[in-house]
């Protein structure tokens, strides 16, 4: 029975289920689907003196953001539940052969699990590649999402679904940046 639920779920199952979160959040809580705001709420909730915080982080995060923090805790718990019941998906095995070949040419050898161990492990964190991928990558995700006013959920899904031109421009930016890294930076970084 669990066999049928094992990864990878095909796109035509996962995509529609993912899209349903938009009306679900609106109907149950009156909330617009968006995840990156949780990062701002976490900064705002950091117990430092108010004078240390820029104005953008001084607001009633409990009033406006508690739901979002509960939501991201739920995302982590759901992921924990999934890997506990069904195991960690070997995404590196289910990607296309062409991608595996390209990544192998860049020096990736471990295709087990969700992320390549060559880049995502504690002992690689201070190697140049591991640091850029995890720390610089994380920094840009946080900085860029707030500057753009949303991430994949808020712009690519809710924004475009609500027919917002700014969101479409943001998504084009996401792709421009992603292609720049994939074809410009990664070959230098991993080569």
Partner 1 sequence: MTTTEKTTNWTALLAFVLMGAYLGVIFVQSEVVSWFRIQEMFRFQSFHMYGIIGSAVAVATLSIQILKRTGLETLAGDPIELSPKAWGDSRIPAARYWMGGTLFGMGWALLGACPGPIFALIGAGVGVLVVGLLAALLGTWTYSVLRSRLPH
Residues 75 to 94 in contact with partner 1, rule: CB under 8 A: 75-83, 86, 88-89, 91-92, 94
Q: Rule CB under 8 A: choose which of 145, 187, 188, 191 binds partner 1.
A: 145
Site for partner 1 in 15-54 (CB under 8 A): 15-33, 35-36, 38-40, 42-43, 53-54
Q: Rule CB under 8 A: choose which of 107, 128, 139, 187 binds partner 1.
A: 139
Residue positions counted in the chain: 191
Q: Rule CB under 8 A: choose which of 2, 51, 122, 191 binds partner 1.
A: 122
Cα–Cα distance for residue pair 23/21, rounded to 1 Å: 6
Q: Rule CB under 8 A: choose which of 47, 49, 63, 191 binds partner 1.
A: 63
- Rounded to a whole number of angstroms, the minimum distance from the CB of residue 1 to partner 1 is 15
Q: Rule CB under 8 A: choose which of 1, 2, 4, 163 binds partner 1.
A: 163
- Reference 145, options 167, 119, 114; nearest CA is 167
Residues touching partner 1, count (CB under 8 A): 131
3-state secondary structure the chain: CHHHHCCCCCHHHHHHHHHCHHHHHHHHHCCCCCCCHHHHHHHHHCCCCHHHCCHHHCCCHHHHHHHHHHHHHHHHHHHHHHHHHHCCCCHHHHCCHHHHHHHHHCCCCCCCCCCCCCCCCHHHCCCHHHHHHHHHHHHHHHHHHHHHCCCHHHHHHHHHHCCCHHHHHHHHHHHHHHHHHHHHHHHHHHC
Q: How many C-beta atoms lie closer than 10 Å to residue 103's C-beta?
A: 18
- Rounded to a whole number of angstroms, the minimum distance from the CB of residue 107 to partner 1 is 13
- Rounded to a whole number of angstroms, the minimum distance from the CB of residue 163 to partner 1 is 7
Q: Rule CB under 8 A: choose which of 64, 105, 107, 175 binds partner 1.
A: 175
59 in contact with partner 1 (CB under 8 A): no
Q: Rule CB under 8 A: choose which of 104, 128, 161, 187 binds partner 1.
A: 161
- Rounded to a whole number of angstroms, the minimum distance from the CB of residue 17 to partner 1 is 5
């Amino acid at each position: 029975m669990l066999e049928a639920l094992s990864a990878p779920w095909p796109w035509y199952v996962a995509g529609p289920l993912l899209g349903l979160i938009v009306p679900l959040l609106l109907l149950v809580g009156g909330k617009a689907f968006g995840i990156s705001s949780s990062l701002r709420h976490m900064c705002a909730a950091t117990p430092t003196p108010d004078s240390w915080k820029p104005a953008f982080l001084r607001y009633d995060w409990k009033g406006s953001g508690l739901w979002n923090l509960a939501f991201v805790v739920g995302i982590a718990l759901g992921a924990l539940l999934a890997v506990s019941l069904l195991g960690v998906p070997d995404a590196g095995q289910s990607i296309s052969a062409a991608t595996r070949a390209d990544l192998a040419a860049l020096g990736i050898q471990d295709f087990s699990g969700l992320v390549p161990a060559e880049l995502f492990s504690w002992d690689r964190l201070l190697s140049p590649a591991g640091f850029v991928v995890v720390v610089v990558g994380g920094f840009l995700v946080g900085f860029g999402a707030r500057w753009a006013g949303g991430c994949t959920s808020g712009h690519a899904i809710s924004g475009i679904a609500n027919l917002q031109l700014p969101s479409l421009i943001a998504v084009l930016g996401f792709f421009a940046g992603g292609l720049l890294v994939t074809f410009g930076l990664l070959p230098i970084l991993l080569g």
